[in-house]
Copies of this chain bind each other. A is one copy, B any other.
């Protein structure tokens, strides 16, 4: 099954084939050897950041053998997951996300926490790398042993990247990271995916309300559990205060969220290091509040169900839409629909009749 000697571990699942002596995986950085599933699990559970990183690489890999091993690792880690608060952070480019994450991250770590920062950004290929790809922008954080920073997978569909990110969250939790940031760029569909994998959704905004919102996709403001106005420093403070009043009155117009939590609008400055503590305190308050009314647990349950159903739906669709016969037929039907020769519903029926018949899928009546 595996070709390296497993670590001695109660969790070992390797079949124990005779192997050369194992090496401390932290020393293997330059020339990483293949690890057994048991070694991965041992490493993750002991909080080893290098092995955690390598296991996420397995998750991201498109090789079948890698994804089989990744799934084994995840299954074994599942009992050790969940004990964290998962925080989604979004904002337009320019809102200073990296700087904010660095300030907030350093503060959180001084409070005795361990922080993992993941990014979800399916468009990173086009935009030449996600913001987190530029690790140098989080220098002090990335060198801290209580932090784990991971850029976005460099390619793939939103569905794929979302799945990989969600699985990475689990491994980070198993590795003892009790605060998880999931960063996203705030201009695409990815916020909805992130929203459905986190406990708290933080929207970073700049002062100068109105204009900067042009880049934020509709609906995102309504998902926010807090809005933080960044760069509230120097001559910018008054502007930030005005902006927060405006956002506050806008949020007031929104219907109450299911959690009964009232999102606050706060200001902060990563440079002057102000407001960071207040933001963290409010997030902690949220956890307390929603744990108290059981929303926190309920939301996670729903998210797990959502991901199962979403994953089923995605694959049902893929199987249909990636079928070359269907693609051809769809293209020709689409023309007819657009020329008002056939109604969209009749077109759908016609193509499905062919699909279910050719596929010999028993049609439910």
Contact = CB atoms under 8 A, between A and B. Distances in A.
- Chain A interface size, as a band, is 35 or more
Given A304-B344, A319-B356, A319-B363, 15 more contacts: A71-B346, A75-B342, A81-B340, A218-B219, A219-B219, A247-B253, A307-B344, A308-B334, A308-B337, A311-B345, A316-B320, A323-B362, A359-B359, A359-B360, A360-B360
Given A218-B222, A361-B359, A364-B319, A167 B307 contact: no
Nearest to A257: B218
Contact of A316 (B316, B337, B340): B316
Contact of A305 (B78, B334, B346): B334
Chain A at the B interface: SS class:
helix
Contact of A78 (B81, B219, B340): B340
B315 A316 contact: no
A221 to B, nearest CB: 7
A45 to B, nearest CB: 15
A351 B215 CA distance: 40
A339 to B, nearest CB: 9
A255 interface: yes
Interface in A336-350: 337-338, 340-349
